[in-house]
Amino acid sequence: MNVKIGRPINIEIDHLSRVEGHGDIRIRIENGKLVECTWKVVETPRFFEVMFKGLSIEMAPLLAARICGICSISHALASARAIERALKIEIPEPAQKVRLLAKHAETLQSHTLHLFFLVAPDFLDVDSVIPLIQTHPQVVETAARIKGFANRASDLFAGRTTHPMVIKVGGSTQVPRKRQLKELVKDLDATIPYLWKALDLFKSFRMPDFARETEFVSLRGTEEYPFIGGNLVSSDGICKKEDEYRAMTNEYVVDFSTSKFSRLSRESFAVGALARFNNNYDLLHPKAKETAEELNLKLGEHNPFFYNLAQLVECFHVMYESKEIILSLIDSAISEFASHYRVKGCEGVGAVEAPRGILYHYYRIGEDGKIEKSDCVIPTSQNHVNIYYDLHKQVEELIGQGKGEEEIRNLSQMLVRAYDPCISCSVH
């Protein structure tokens, strides 16, 4: 492959901007050939798995939530679910619905943050969202309206905008009153038009033309688009039980990353919105399917830039499904929202679809109700190696197309951002 610009290209991006955490990109091209192309995670490990050791099971979901400021609800849910599955605790139906609503609020929070504050500036040719306040105030208003609703929903269902206090082993510490639910429905109805404005915006963006076929891993829903628990599936035909998560993740270490990597059937696999979309399309809300059609997002898509569009499709899913769940809660008795349980020595796994992909928590619990061993496998750590190989293939293609340094630099950054990596989470 030849580069039309004959001079060497040496791209060193230390701490890629507009992602959560610290990751570096290294690209070196000499004599028209790719010599080095690396996605490096340089964030310092945080050792949360050690912090769980000796902790009471009641405290575990609270500590788990501190692993991440963006997907804290997912961590609390995965933690509680691991303990509840170990102790065979059945959660009352109202608590199950409130947990799913909290999960939906987090998904909307996270996807909106990524799409408008991290991704949109690339397509509007600015360095951050700040200049858009002057040049595209309607875009910023749309983002603020949707994010604001998501925060209020999180406050109601999780007790806080982030770091939830309501999720406890056995159910919830409280559930919203029906008056609060009715007020939130009005708020939701007033926010939905802004979601359609977001659709118009992202329909105007042209995603870069790139694809690398990969394996997609996610939860597999049976009757509903999956967010909390269930079987694990891959687009290559592998299906495992939740307890068999290690056979799906196969973590290993490399010398240039402080985060572990994962693989399954191939050299890499991908998790997250596009994986969920490809593995569970038939279970999406009709309005989400309508959105996918408008965005020309089709089943079996392998362009990683379409993660952005799959996230927007999921925004529609969680908004419209949230309204249906809230209305069902208003029409039902919600006085029972926690189950009693007895502590014993046991172990369990909880799998949850965090915004960036499937998240696992595992605990071994002693007879005294304290955690003896823990293991957390994070979505971004599962995506790192897929990002690595995507980046390599994209740069090789750009060299072949004769692209210059600036375009290679910009598209490489956009590619990593498309995965919405939460790097701090990945070095938990």
The pLDDT tens digits of the residues spanning 175-190 come to 999 999 999 999 999 9
Pairing of strands 215-220, 269-270: parallel
Give, in order, the Cα–Cα distances in Å from 25 to each of 3, 14, 116, 119, 403.
20, 7, 23, 18, 18
**Separation between Cα atoms, residue 313 and residue 309, nearest integer Å:** 6
Q: Residue 2: what pLDDT?
A: 46
Question: Which residues lie below 8 Å from residue 257, measured CB to CB, with a gap of 6+?
Answer: 40, 41, 384
> Given this model, what pLDDT does residue 370 score?
98
Cβ-Cβ contacts under 8 Å for 202 (sequence gap 6 or more): 115, 295, 308, 309, 312
Q: What is the pLDDT of residue 5?
A: 54
**Cβ contact 290:401 at 8 Å:** no
Could you say which residues of the chain have pLDDT below 50? Answer: 1-3
Phi–psi pair at 358, nearest 5 degrees: -75, 135
